[in-house]
Structure 1
Amino acid sequence: MTLTLDLSGRVALVTGGARGIGRGVSAVLVEAGARVITCGRSDAEPAPGTEHRVCDVRDGDEVAALVEAIVASHGRLDVLVNNAGGAPYALAEDSSRRLDDKILGLNLEAVLAVAKAAHAVMRTQSDGGAIVNISSVSAVRPSPGTATYGAAKAGVDSLTRSLAVEWGPQVRVNSIDVGLCRTEQTDDHYGGDAAVAAIEATIPLGRMAEPQEIGQVVAFLASDLAGYVSGANLACHGGGEPPVFLHITKEKS
């Protein structure tokens, strides 16, 4: 038996797909044969082989218009990758209600809104569709400094499991708990090459992920190879984060 990962003829929407992890995801989906549409709050240079549309995924009307436009142009929507997200560093005691609302709005509420719009199309298609939510290891471990973000991502994982039950068998829904990943902002975010190298030394696989590696997992979950995978939270974190006491023990030995 030959295993093939072929998304030829499928139409995919990747939110936040013009930059960072989303750009890597978009590139892999294009390579797999999909027609990829990305979206973001502002205009951006499309990833090669994609088309980009302006949409604030926190705005329900804009989301509805985006999905309608995709169907009008391409006739269908087969894959949704809910990738748009993020949050600034802010300790919980210092974070304002307004900031908390914005973080929850982008990282949880928008995920549901875009998923519902996509599902409304996918459920009418004979071969349904697949939704992949980009979550985070912050969903399953403490997230000091980004507590609201971590709570939102935990909500995404829970939402994924519930939607998989509600929307099967027409639509499969899965999420990926992503760990540290190299993007164009990595050095600035962590304080340069030396800091990044020190962080990577703590990861069991010895490095951060590349965006395309996240894309390969997305492509699998969107493909027929994952035809019986739904409601799953798949960890993509290079082995995770070893307990701090192991490092302390090693230093003392």
Structure 2
Amino acid sequence: MELDGRVVVVTGGTRGVGAGIARSFLAAGADVVVCARRPPDEEVAADGRRAAFSPVDLRDPAAVHDFFDAVAGRHGRLDCLVNNAGGTPYRLLGEGEAQRHARVVELNLLAPMTTSLAAYPWLREARGSVVMIGSVSGTRPSPGTAAYGAAKAGLENLARSMAVEWAPDVRVNSLVLGMVRTELAHLHYGDEAGIASVGATVPLGRLAEPSDVGEAAVFLASDRAAYVSGASLLVHGGGERPAFLDAATVNKES
């Protein structure tokens, strides 16, 4: 298969988008290690192959370094790091102290920097790649998740700078995600009717599936993307229809 013999780490790979990414890499033949603070509720597997799990707090630099040393020691190499771990509760800026918002930035920006730096020696040796999992929240206003949006904006810029500093040994790219249907989608969009209504606002008519993200990540990690670095690939189904088109009174059928 396309990634036979490659070793991939997916942070936050035990559920949701991360698990979908891990399954796509497994299906492509890679050996996959997923990490999170807690073990998955069910095994992450695809095509009869299973991802290994290691517990780690990505906000602890010493633990992160130990984790990557252990991965390289066990597998002998590291070819790709997917910085997927992240997220945020809904919280308006005025409803939380700066320290609470700073924790969101720590998880979504500082932790990917920590993991990338820890993985760098092994990625350089393998001439591997980093895939950052960004968000459209980093490119548009994000009321209720402002710290998250700011962190994702910083993550995309960090990836571009890393791509320049680490070339030609390590490629660094970003996937900029729109809305994804996961097992937690109901917390964001409501029941099935709500999810369908939200999906209808996307030009392609649905929310992304985790596998859609996974296939894009596999592409960026593969030899097919050998000349792609410092890029941001939009995985958002065409984005959002501009609100003014529906608000305008011209060009309407009478």
Partner of 1:190: 189
Partner of 2:215: 216
Please tell me the root mean square deviation across aligned C-alpha atoms, in Å: 1.4
1:197 Cα offset (Å) = 1.4
Partner of 1:113: 114
Partner of 1:180: 179
1:46 Cα offset (Å) = 3.1
Specify whether residues 24 and 250 from structure 1 end up closer, same or farther in structure 2 by C-alpha distance, changes over 3 A only: farther
Partner of 1:151: 150
1:98 Cα offset (Å) = 2.1
Runs of at least 5 residues in structure 1 that lack an aligned partner in the other structure: none
Q: Secondary structure at the match of 2:104?
A: helix
**Contact 1:180–1:208 (8 Å) recurs in 2:** yes
**Contact 1:204–1:241 (8 Å) recurs in 2:** yes
**Contact 2:37–2:55 (8 Å) recurs in 1:** yes
**Contact 1:108–1:152 (8 Å) recurs in 2:** yes
Please list the CA deviations of residues 38-57 of structure 1 after superposition, one character each: whole Å capped at 9, or x if unmatched.
00011223301101110111
1:99 Cα offset (Å) = 1.3
What TM-score, normalized to structure 1?
0.94
Alignment match of 2:19 (pick from 16, 23, 34): 23
The residue type paired with residue 93 of structure 1 is: G
Cα distance in structure 2, aligned partners of 1:201 and 1:249: 20
**Contact 2:14–2:39 (8 Å) recurs in 1:** no
**Contact 2:177–2:236 (8 Å) recurs in 1:** yes
Partner of 1:46: 43
Please list the CA deviations of residues 184-212 of structure 1 after superposition, one character each: whole Å capped at 9, or x if unmatched.
01123211112111111110000000000
1:226 Cα offset (Å) = 0.1
**Contact 1:202–1:241 (8 Å) recurs in 2:** yes
The residue type paired with residue 133 of structure 2 is: I
1:171 Cα offset (Å) = 0.2
Cα distance in structure 2, aligned partners of 1:197 and 1:249: 25
The residue type paired with residue 102 of structure 1 is: R
The residue type paired with residue 59 of structure 1 is: D
Q: Secondary structure at the match of 1:181?
A: coil
**Contact 1:38–1:46 (8 Å) recurs in 2:** no
1:175 Cα offset (Å) = 0.4
Cα distance in structure 1, aligned partners of 2:196 and 2:23: 26
**Contact 2:39–2:53 (8 Å) recurs in 1:** yes
1:250 Cα offset (Å) = 7.4
The residue type paired with residue 71 of structure 1 is: A
Partner of 1:82: 83
Cα distance in structure 1, aligned partners of 2:192 and 2:214: 24
Cα distance in structure 2, aligned partners of 1:199 and 1:63: 37
**Contact 1:16–1:40 (8 Å) recurs in 2:** yes
**Contact 1:11–1:34 (8 Å) recurs in 2:** yes
Q: Secondary structure at the match of 1:158?
A: helix
**Contact 1:86–1:149 (8 Å) recurs in 2:** yes
Cα distance in structure 2, aligned partners of 1:82 and 1:249: 41
Aligned length: 247
| Structure 1, 9-18 or 38-47: larger mean CA deviation | 38-47
Partner of 2:225: 226
